[in-house]
Amino acid sequence: MMKPLYLDAGAFRDLLSMEQNDQIEDGYGGYVDDWSPVSQNWARIVPARADFSVRAEVNEANYTHIIDLRQPVAADVSMRFVAGGDTRHFTILAVYDPDETGRYLRCICRKEGESA
């Protein structure tokens, strides 16, 4: 049996908006991302990893964060979190229960956008 994870209630101090990606047709045979809010949740955001890559001779920074939430939250990889009044976007890469007790939900996320 796994040791239960304990997270201090004060650690959940970031109010995040969870958004669902609803792709709509762009009229040219493709799709445009249209993000619609699903819920707001108090969360704990922890930076996990930072690195960079070079694509087409352009340096790109890559940031990974761990976002912990209290259950019940229905999150999946088609969603993202928005923090700071639409200034920070976190695309969900993976979702799991860190101690399998049903109390917390952990999301591995990639920080997106120019403010990354």
Band (pLDDT 50/70/90 cuts) for residue 115 is very low
Convert the pLDDT of each residue in 47-106 to its tens digit: 998 888 888 888 888 889 999 999 888 899 999 999 987 789 999 999 999 988 889 999
CA–CA dist 23, 47 (Å, integer)? 29
Q: Per the structure, how many domains does the chain have?
A: 1
- Range 34-53 average pLDDT: 91
Is the pLDDT at 114 greater than 50? The verdict is yes
Assigned domain for 114 exists:
no
* 20 bridge partner residues: 36, 79
Q: pTM of the full predicted structure?
A: 0.82
Distances from the Cα of 8 to the Cαs of 18, 48, 82, in angstroms?
A: 22, 19, 22
Give the domain extent around 81: 67-101
> From start to end of 1-116, where are the E strands?
14-25, 31-55, 58-70, 79-83, 88-96, 104-112
